[in-house]
Structure 1
Amino acid sequence: MATRQLQTPIFPRWTGAAARLVAASEMRLERERERIALWLPVALGAGIASWLALPTVMHWTGLLLLLAAGVLLGLAIGWHRRLGRMVAIGCLTMALGVLLVWGRALWVAAPVLAQPVVTSFSAKVERVEPLPARDQVRLILRPLARSDLPPRLRLTLRRAQDAGIVAGERIGVRARLMPPPTASLPGGYDFARRAWFDGIGAVGTVLGDVARSPRAGTEEKPLRARLSAHVQAQLPGSAGGIAAALASGDRGGITDTDAEAMRRSGLAHLLAISGLHVTAVVGFTMLVLLRLLALSPRLALTGQVMVLAAAGAALAGVGYTWLTGAAVPTVRSCIAALLILVALQLGREAVTLRLVAAGAMIVMLWRPESLAGPSFQMSFAAVAAIVALHENSRMRAFLVRREEARARRFVRGVVALFLTGLVIEITLAPIALFHFHKAGLYGALANVVAIPLTTFVIMPAEAAALLLDSVGLGAPFWWVTGNALDLLIALAHRVADTPGAVATLPVFPPWAFGVTVVGGLWILLWSGRMRWAGLGPALAGMAILAWQPSPDVLVTGDGRHVAAATGDGGYAMLRARAGDYVRQTMAEAAGIDAPLAALADLDHVECNVDFCRWTQRDRVMLAAYGRDRVAGADMAAACAAADVVIADRWLPRECVARWMTIDRDSLAATGGLALYLDEPPRAVTALRSGDEHPWRRPQQLSGNDEAIPTAVPAQ
């Protein structure tokens, strides 16, 4: 007699609950089946972000094992179920992201300079980046016959020292070199990570003249450099700098004042070659080719006009991307444009979130580290927001063509442009606050004027001017371009100077930023009522940012610069002569949009030639001000009476503060600091203890300070 198998589950209540959960998820996913594929780039990006956020090899390995368990869980749910496939493929894609960026970081590994040095060497110029607005030129060099130097360096020199250096030339220089700097304050820009993936092992400045070979100066500059120089010769000042940025991607000619006004007004996206510019080039090229090719009866009757016009537009987009430097937003925009052209030829809907997802996947597979940069995040977030808005049924109904007066149609177009700008500003605000600690509030209004002005006036007029310059007839179009650009700059300054134009907040905790991003993606990528479940996480993340306290004291990674809260919402600097870059970095980390005062000018601060002493939140602060060495016995009592002691040099062993002693030794491990002096006091560091990312523990070279001749080898 056959034995009946036991059919009753061991845990019937839990099994029933799990079955109901799976069934409910299947019903939800069935309604959203067209949207599931949009989460593939999100999973890939989550793996990349996790590797960048987690500090050690043990964490990365543990995450991979956890994702492997997730794959098994998906298979256990069932490959025949959407939920099971989604969990398995999602975990597998996330694991791919971890391995991709980990492998990329190891693949690009190169030695890094160990300490600052002054040395002479010969080098081959790899790239020249003019910065005329700062009267500087930036060089990417490969040293020759110097095994003690990194294989790639980035140097800055004055334009007077440049004398027409071009890529491929060999030069001899004497320079002060230093390792790529890490973030000077918590939440600041970490150039060391960017330099690692770019293969740059040291940065510095050129000292003295540049030695060049006898044949130097006879080489022709690259097309991009020649185009930029030609544009700036036609239009001086920032107008020429913006025109050069639109034509070649070279933003070095824009003054810092005008660039800051563009950022504060929400118009900075016009300076970075991205979707707006590539779309204008591709669309204009396709329109012109359609008109010209349609003149041929043979092509028109055989149906080849659209195909040839699309091919020509694709070539124009690829050429424009190459000419402007192939930055991540430009590559993304070019890929999107090419996919749109292919979709048009296949008779498919061209602009969809699937296209945006495909572009994101390609860029992350090509350069996974780009995910961490604001350029990638802002460009894809903006495009996804635009597409999601215009896929909405109510927005489509509002924009549908209809018989109406021109004035009404114009007003409807302006309203649509304003709504699009508003959605973009809301989408980009968390990203801007996380990376730059500030976000423009009036960008939606400014873009209503700026985007049409750039798309329909500035870019076509500049293209016509460049084309007609070949026969000497470009002057009228340069006049139009210059006046339109002056109007754009004036608009940026007017909006930037409006009270309340910029929201500034202190450091955005990375985990809260992650919660906000997840909520935003949930709203953008799902449809129907299900999407609004992401509103809670998005608002929670922003609420955490809004309630984030401002630091009481900020200390840069070198210990030289200290900023203390003054109690009236402002901050005061220990060293009043600190440069603009340091002041801007301090203001961003503090979350303020106001000038920083001098600490020594405050009534409650006592300073002598060696130290400044003050009381803040009932805690005594002592900060080194002078450069002279002070004996340990003389400092012992002062340090013991202070809660916090800060110095940019090594402090004697006798100097011990009641809570925290900060000197060169401790700063080497912590980097910059943000101190919160409430009870209990806490310190947030720029560097994490035990961080095992390759750029934190690179192979180091000494860069011996040797008297090496700067003779230039033969070309």
Structure 2
Amino acid sequence: ACLALLLPVGARLRHMLVAGGLLACVGCLLVWGKATWLGQPPLARPIFAQVTGTVTAVAKLPAQQMVRVGLRPIEAPVLPAAIRVNIAEADMPEGLGKGAVLRFRVRLMPPAPPSVPGAFDFARRAYFQGVGATGRALAPVEVVEQTREGPTLRARLFDHISGQVADAPAGIAVALATGDQGAIAEADAEAMRRSGLAHLLSISGLHVTALIGAVIFLLLRLLALIPRAALDWPLMLIAAAGGALAGIGYTLLTGAEVPTVRSCIAALLVLGGLALGREAVTLRLVATGALVVLVFWPEALIGPSFQMSFAAVVALVALGEHRRFKAFAMARDEPWLRKAGRTVAAMLMTGLAIELVLAPIALFHFHKAGLLGAVANLVAIPLTTFVIMPLEALALGFDVVGLGAPFWWLTAKAIALLLAVAHGVAASPMAVMLAPAVPGWIFGIIVVGGLWCLLWRSRWRWLGLGPVAVGLVGIALLAPPDIVVTGDGRHVAVRTPAGTMALLRG
């Protein structure tokens, strides 16, 4: 930023560099401030301990047959201020809930670092969440003081939906309504990831937009039935306000994760733009949403959730603003068959654009990227948006008068079809592309080139393909490691002459 001040006054490059430098400084201050405020130094070494603590959070994980509990230890100066413990379902006592006081023995460990180079770093995430140790409780688990709080609305929804939908569809139904993925079996979750449908399980733009759109539609239709309201009231503003309240409530209900907050902020900005008569869906909207998220969660910048969420939206907006795509996707009077084909082609193009943008991010963070997600989403997105979510909403609504059973049956069948699509695509050998750990400099080159392509509107944008091509060639030339050592040093994988890996346990 200081060097940019040497450039001519009024130059666009000067403004860009100064603004970028100042924003980077503010971001560093935010990260430092949050680390100072919430950061929790990890436990020094694994220990066995008798813990008495106050429960701060309870998350059910039926698929793993356990409950995850957050606690604040009482009168335990040698322990971190906050710990996270797993309790087996068979050992879960009565009266467990937020505010309860538990006593049990546990083997506590520092939050796990990356198991192999480039893998997910839970220790970093735990640090910013204030969690200093994790472990598994040993039976018996004693309740010293029972909870005085009733279950939250999210917990009641979890239990209610789990009781209405059986088997594998139950986990998906719970995730769509509450954002809690603890009831999804690992086989189904892996199939959703391999088929490029995992975004359907994370409450994001698709879900928030569908909910807000449905609320606006219903409010407009209901208010239009009142003659005075139809003639004198600003129905669109009232419906938009109702949709905004519904979006905020849904965001809070589902845990306010980064994709959900981003989607809610974007939806509120769109509604505000429509109310003011302005074009709402622009890259400025995406930038505003990103800034709001980073103000509260600055550490999210280097995480896959933030990067993939905003990269997908930027790709959609950039594609939607391109004049050729606009001309192709524009509504027009034509036979229904051609219109349906045009719609499917537009969906396929947007799906391919998102897959191309997200592939480098997935390769960097997860060492694999989906190849058939665009095809799977052609079926999965309409099925989820127009069938599963409306049926689940109807089922919850009719449960008030005890008539939701038929809708739950239809919901389960629709989710079973979604899972069949996911497993079918995931079974293909072409579903996923694998890669070794991608160096940071290669990922950085691809990100710079991708942003150049997406943010510019003139022919200058195509210059960004150069860095992207260099980065992709770099990934293609990466050689898989011959020796992999886990973070704790207890396991070593060695590549054999046949190309397979032999695992040596310490």
User: How much has 1:476 moved relative to structure 2?
Assistant: 1.2
Instruction: State TM-score, norm by structure 1.
Output: 0.69
The answer for the alignment partner of 1:277 in structure 2 is: 207
Letter in 1 for 2:268: L
Query: Equivalent residues in 2 for 1:194-209 (5 A)?
Result: 194-209=125-140
Q: 1:181 aligns with which of 86, 94, 112?
A: 112
User: How much has 1:495 moved relative to structure 2?
Assistant: 0.3
The answer for the alignment partner of 1:94 in structure 2 is: 24
Q: 1:391 aligns with which of 321, 326, 339?
A: 321
Question: Is the CA contact 1:267–1:450 (under 8 Å) kept in the aligned structure 2?
Answer: yes
**Does residue 241 of structure 1 match 2:171?**
yes
Q: Which has the higher helix share?
A: 2
Question: Is the CA contact 2:58–2:70 (under 8 Å) kept in the aligned structure 1?
Answer: yes
Q: 1:223 aligns with which of 141, 153, 156?
A: 153
User: How much has 1:91 moved relative to structure 2?
Assistant: 1.8
Letter in 1 for 2:99: G
Question: Is the CA contact 1:240–1:253 (under 8 Å) kept in the aligned structure 2?
Answer: yes
Query: Equivalent residues in 2 for 1:626-645 (5 A)?
Result: none
**Does residue 167 of structure 1 match 2:167?**
no
Q: What are the superposed Cα offsets for residues 296-349 of structure 1, whole Å, 9 maximum, x if unpaired?
A: 222222242111101110010000000000001100000001001101100111
User: How much has 1:391 moved relative to structure 2?
Assistant: 0.9
Q: Distance in 2 between matches of 1:390 and 1:81?
A: 29
Question: Is the CA contact 1:78–1:85 (under 8 Å) kept in the aligned structure 2?
Answer: no
Q: 2:365 aligns with which of 435, 438, 442?
A: 435
Query: Equivalent residues in 2 for 1:496-515 (5 A)?
Result: 496-515=426-445
**Does residue 446 of structure 1 match 2:383?**
no
The answer for the alignment partner of 1:363 in structure 2 is: 293
SS in 2 for 1:559: coil
Identity of aligned residues (%): 56
Q: Distance in 2 between matches of 1:401 and 1:500?
A: 34
**Does residue 517 of structure 1 match 2:447?**
yes
Q: What are the superposed Cα offsets for residues 254-308 of structure 1, whole Å, 9 maximum, x if unpaired?
A: 0011100100000010111111111111111111111111112222222421111
User: How much has 1:126 moved relative to structure 2?
Assistant: 0.7
Q: Distance in 1 between matches of 2:225 and 2:280?
A: 26
Q: 1:155 aligns with which of 70, 85, 92?
A: 85
Question: Is the CA contact 1:237–1:253 (under 8 Å) kept in the aligned structure 2?
Answer: no
Question: Is the CA contact 2:283–2:314 (under 8 Å) kept in the aligned structure 1?
Answer: yes
What RMSD in Å do the two structures reach over aligned CA positions? 1.3
Query: Equivalent residues in 2 for 1:398-413 (5 A)?
Result: 398-413=328-343
The answer for the alignment partner of 1:192 in structure 2 is: 123
The answer for the alignment partner of 2:50 in structure 1 is: 120
Q: Distance in 1 between matches of 2:387 and 2:97?
A: 33
Unaligned runs of 5+ in 1: 1-69, 576-647, 649-715
Letter in 2 for 1:74: A
Q: 1:132 aligns with which of 59, 62, 72?
A: 62
Letter in 1 for 2:457: S
Q: What are the superposed Cα offsets for residues 148-198 of structure 1, whole Å, 9 maximum, x if unpaired?
A: 111100101111112352112111121110111211211011111111100
Instruction: State TM-score, norm by structure 2.
Output: 0.97
Query: Equivalent residues in 2 for 1:565-580 (5 A)?
Result: 565-575=495-505
Q: 1:256 aligns with which of 172, 183, 186?
A: 186
User: How much has 1:569 moved relative to structure 2?
Assistant: 3.1
Q: 1:351 aligns with which of 281, 284, 293?
A: 281
**Does residue 212 of structure 1 match 2:143?**
yes
**Which structure has the larger Rg over C-alpha atoms?**
1
**Does residue 560 of structure 1 match 2:490?**
yes
Letter in 2 for 1:167: K
The answer for the alignment partner of 1:549 in structure 2 is: 479
Q: Distance in 2 between matches of 1:492 and 1:264?
A: 8
Question: Is the CA contact 1:119–1:176 (under 8 Å) kept in the aligned structure 2?
Answer: yes
Letter in 2 for 1:173: F
SS in 1 for 2:45: coil
Q: Distance in 2 between matches of 1:91 and 1:197?
A: 24
What is the count of residue pairs matched by the alignment? 505
Letter in 1 for 2:251: T
